[in-house]
Amino acid sequence: MTTLAKRIEALEQEKPVSIGPFFIHLIGLDTKDSEIERITKGNQEWQRQPGESVQDLKDRAMREVPPPKPNTSTLFVCY
């Protein structure tokens, strides 16, 4: 397991239960103004479709991911 994957897993387990699913948008210095085109969670991936808004992409990912385990939340990584 990569260091980043371990950190994400730790975040998912440490986050308070009262917060719903959350998204982390990874950007680089040269891509700071870019919109989200892809979302991943574990081995699942969602690509933004032509004409699909960022919010629609997030909603679709939330609908398709299994519910979180008790006392954890769902963390999505966006690119």
For residue 70, pLDDT beyond 80: no
Q: Which H or E element spans position 57? A: helix 54-64
Higher pLDDT, 17 or 5: 5
Rounded average pLDDT over 69-73: 75
Range of the domain at 42: 3-78
Burial of 21 (0-12, 13-18, 19+ CB in 10 A): middle
Higher pLDDT, 63 or 29: 63
pLDDT tens figures, 7-56: 878 877 775 655 678 888 888 777 667 889 999 998 999 999 999 999 99
Per-residue pLDDT at 55: 96
Total number of domains constituting the chain: 1
